[in-house]
Structure 1
Amino acid sequence: MAIKDFKRTKASCFYAYLSMSSVFSLPPLLFVTFQEMYGISYTLLGTLVLVNFCTQLTIDLIFTFFTKHFPIHTTVKLMPLLTSAGLIIYAIAPALFPQYAYIGLLAGTVLFSVAAGLSEVLMSPLVAAIPSEHPEKDMSLLHSLYAWGIVSVVIISTVFFQLFGVRNWMYLVLFFALLPLVAFWLFAISPMPEMQVEHSAGSAGRRKRMAGLALCVACIFLGSAAENTMANWISGFMENALHVPKAWGDIFGMAMFATLLGLGRTLYAKFGRNITNVLLGGMAGAAVCYLVAGLSDNVVLAFAACVLTGFCTSMLWPGTLILMEEKIKTPGVTAYALMAAGGDLGASVAPQLMGIIVDTVAVSSFAKRLSAKLPFTTEQIGMKAGMLTATMYPILGIFLLLFIKRYFKRQKSQA
């Protein structure tokens, strides 16, 4: 089919990815409400986040090893229905059965997390399979919509709570549950391109492909870790380490971070080229931002560093996918599933490690001695130590990208 035949398909992918952003950004905005209305502990609420990531990672791994057993096109079309079903259960179950509110939230989380995992595994290869004059820009635009979706969810939620109050949270969730139904309808009436499941090659060629793919998986792990450590901790860091009021930390911190995340991906979609250099620049910029956030005692400078991390890390996930597509021809759905697994692993492990470091350093004798000499509390020192530790992800990413650049250059010369 010609490129024009898939315009609706591409638009369906973009809209589906945009509507999926509520799955990631809406639940954390409701955690305080759940604690107050249903008495659910923060530990159990934090477990919902862990369940979300573990479910997505499970889907990634299932598709890595068993892709050929799934009807890909049918799975893509049913994915929005799973999202809607999960959000509907998430909204209705606690309202109908408040004594079992957590079970309802858990069931809804599992369902829409399955859909989120499918989205990560299938949307990128689907967009890559659509004939295009600028496939790398389409990929960047796809991932930019996730960031713009987060900004939209924060704004819509803030306005809703101001108008109707937080106790009516379930109607907000039901509103977001309706949006994926439009994606289901769009996919149902759109043609689907052929998607290669696995690449067949000889043993020598397969070894080379797997080595190159392993390097890309390591790169997306480090890029995701650099992005999601700040994404998950920016509000807490601003409130506790910089003493910025929580409302400012949420709105001007998280929202500005997501805005710059989307801006970076949108700019690449319009003007981008030479993805390896873009990734190197992003890793270097992220390393500087983490160092400034961890070392600076100037609130404005540290605040700016936190927010600018969004721009610096904006291309680290989608950019690594573009790099893989450039260096590994016809990668197939299995390769995208493995890349999604690497990204999800970085998104879950790195923020958790940050929390462990913050807690460990904050109660250490080292922090107490340092607090006596510097104008920082032990908690602030713990937060800053966590930020400094997170610097290792982009720094390791720089060395890895330099190695990847040499590796694929050598492979090309030997071909």
Structure 2
Amino acid sequence: MPPKKAYGRTLLACYLGFVTQAICANFAPLLYVTFHRTYGLGLSQLALISTAFFLLQLVTDLLCAKVVDRVGYRPCVIAAELLSGLGLLGLAVVPDLMPSHLIGILLCVAVYAVGSGLTEVLASPIIEACPFDNKDMVMSTLHSFYCWGSAATALGSTAFFSLFGVEGWRILAAALAVVPLANVYNFATCPIETLVEDGEGMGVRQLLGNGAFWLFVVLMVCAGASEISMAQWASAFAESALGVSKTVGDLAGPCGFALLMGLSRALYGRFGEKVDLTMFMVGSGVLCLACYLLAGLSSVPLLGLVGCALCGFSVGIMWPGSISISSRAMPRGGTAMFALLALAGDLGGSVGPSLVGNVSQHFGNDLRTGVLAGVVFPVVLVVCALAVRKGSSPCERGGGRA
């Protein structure tokens, strides 16, 4: 293998890959009002944009389990960056060229959604295959870049629109496309190792027939649901349930959530060797439960906002921690395991917000009640983490240089 210092470009490429994924997930929703005014799209049509994005990510996760090992990591991850860049670049041009503006938007979203899904599946095993010490810490740092990318997309877009007006959104879309397109070079030249030797990795059927793997699937579903439920509803919850302005709600809600989630992952990436990962997951689940209760039960807006933002810190380790625990317990899981775990996380990210929204509507559009319904996810996550700890050896639990 090349010297460890040669893997710095691999880290950089994967960091920028996660930033790209954050751009793809968060940029179009910032333009919903603009799309409504410019193209006359209704709320139900706008909802199709997010639905199409996450649905295609799920499909990509599933297909990756069988395709990537045959094609190879490098061609697939280069394709991921190209598709992400072309989709964002197309967003600046294609909708205005199509008879149906909505179809034009959805076509571009479909292209970068496939790229985003590939990145989600590939970046983690690429890092896992590198000869780093304390890989759970490296994994946490990697996933923190999704948070920094989300916050930067929101803050950068706000600054751009303030300076140049929202009418310049097409220029911003083209500018953002430079990130993945430039990152193609990094992935084309960085060292990429194989996670398992050909023929040694577990297949989808083997994984699905393993009882322990289903525990990790539930862990990932709850991680995704705990994170995305609050992240997606934070702005609306702050504005409608807590009665604060949209600006305050956006900054203290989704932006504060993303920044604290990134801080949590960065801190674990720096000091994680001193911590038992499974117990850190348990503690994070308990804190997440407390945050949901604080946000849902508090009658003081400031405390509710604290609950929303602090929830970001509590969920920070859940997704990368679940991946690290799973890969340590099942080292032969291979690409199929990472793809199915990503699928489980995305499934949780779809089910969680849906539960919050449906419960809220059932109780007269009361988002407080909907948020309280979300406590089921951190509770189940804690139970699963304790079960993993009970069934693992000390070296599998993490903490220190086992």
1:381-415, Cα deviation, whole Å (9 max, x unpaired)? x2111011001110111112212222235999xxx
The equivalent residue for 1:19 is 20
Measured at CA, do residues 201 and 147 of structure 1 come closer, stay the same or move farther in structure 2, by a change above 3 Å?
A: closer
Alpha carbon RMSD of aligned pairs, Å? 2.1
1:85-136, Cα deviation, whole Å (9 max, x unpaired)? 1111112112344x42111110011010001110111000001101112211
In the alignment, structure 1 residue 394 sits paired with structure 2 residue 394: no
Q: Displacement, 1:207? A: 7.3
Q: Displacement, 1:188? A: 1.6
* TM-score where L is the length of structure 1: 0.90
In the alignment, structure 1 residue 29 sits paired with structure 2 residue 26: no
The equivalent residue for 1:231 is 231
Deviating runs (4+, > 4 A) in structure 1?
Answer: 206-209, 409-412
| 1:298-337 alignment, distance < 5 Å | 298-337=300-339
1:133-178, Cα deviation, whole Å (9 max, x unpaired)? 2211111111000000111111110111011111121111111011
Q: CA separation in 1, counterparts of 2:197 and 2:51?
A: 29
Q: CA separation in 2, counterparts of 1:88 and 1:183?
A: 15
Q: CA separation in 1, counterparts of 2:395 and 2:268?
A: 27
| 1:231-310 alignment, distance < 5 Å | 231-272=231-272, 273-310=275-312
In the alignment, structure 1 residue 85 sits paired with structure 2 residue 86: yes
Measured at CA, do residues 358 and 133 of structure 1 come closer, stay the same or move farther in structure 2, by a change above 3 Å?
A: same
1:174-229, Cα deviation, whole Å (9 max, x unpaired)? 110111111101112222212327774899xx679822222111101001101100
The one-letter code matched in structure 1 to 2:26 is S
* Larger Rg computed on CA atoms: 1
In the alignment, structure 1 residue 166 sits paired with structure 2 residue 166: yes
Q: Displacement, 1:298? A: 1.3
The one-letter code matched in structure 1 to 2:14 is C
The equivalent residue for 1:407 is 391
The equivalent residue for 2:109 is 109
CA contact 2:207–2:213 (8 Å) conserved in 1? no
Most deviating of 307-316 and 212-221? 212-221
Question: Structure 2, unaligned stretches of length 5 or more?
Answer: 397-402
1:285-335, Cα deviation, whole Å (9 max, x unpaired)? 011111111111111111111110000001110110111122222431110
CA contact 2:20–2:84 (8 Å) conserved in 1? no
Q: Displacement, 1:72? A: 2.5
Task: State the secondary structure of the residue aligned to 2:341.
Answer: helix
Q: CA separation in 1, counterparts of 2:142 and 2:373?
A: 31
Q: CA separation in 1, counterparts of 2:201 and 2:183?
A: 36
Most deviating of 209-218 and 22-31? 209-218
Task: State the secondary structure of the residue aligned to 1:195.
Answer: coil
1:236-294, Cα deviation, whole Å (9 max, x unpaired)? 00000001101111122211110001000000000013110111011100111111111
Measured at CA, do residues 351 and 357 of structure 1 come closer, stay the same or move farther in structure 2, by a change above 3 Å?
A: same
Percent identical: 32
| 1:135-150 alignment, distance < 5 Å | 135-150=135-150
Q: CA separation in 1, counterparts of 2:137 and 2:176?
A: 28
Task: State the secondary structure of the residue aligned to 2:133.
Answer: coil
Q: Displacement, 1:79? A: 1.3
Task: State the secondary structure of the residue aligned to 2:192.
Answer: coil
Measured at CA, do residues 94 and 218 of structure 1 come closer, stay the same or move farther in structure 2, by a change above 3 Å?
A: same
Measured at CA, do residues 139 and 101 of structure 1 come closer, stay the same or move farther in structure 2, by a change above 3 Å?
A: same
CA contact 1:199–1:331 (8 Å) conserved in 2? no
Task: State the secondary structure of the residue aligned to 1:15.
Answer: helix
CA contact 2:201–2:334 (8 Å) conserved in 1? no
CA contact 2:69–2:335 (8 Å) conserved in 1? no
Q: CA separation in 1, counterparts of 2:207 and 2:220?
A: 20
Most deviating of 190-199 and 26-35? 190-199
Count of residue correspondences? 391
| 1:37-186 alignment, distance < 5 Å | 37-97=38-98, 99-186=99-186
CA contact 2:202–2:332 (8 Å) conserved in 1? no
Task: State the secondary structure of the residue aligned to 1:297.
Answer: coil
Q: CA separation in 1, counterparts of 2:197 and 2:118?
A: 14
The equivalent residue for 2:214 is 214
Measured at CA, do residues 336 and 208 of structure 1 come closer, stay the same or move farther in structure 2, by a change above 3 Å?
A: closer
CA contact 1:84–1:112 (8 Å) conserved in 2? yes
CA contact 1:82–1:115 (8 Å) conserved in 2? yes
Task: State the secondary structure of the residue aligned to 1:147.
Answer: helix
Q: CA separation in 1, counterparts of 2:38 and 2:66?
A: 42
Measured at CA, do residues 225 and 405 of structure 1 come closer, stay the same or move farther in structure 2, by a change above 3 Å?
A: same
* TM-score where L is the length of structure 2: 0.93
Q: CA separation in 2, counterparts of 1:35 and 1:202?
A: 47
Task: State the secondary structure of the residue aligned to 1:194.
Answer: coil
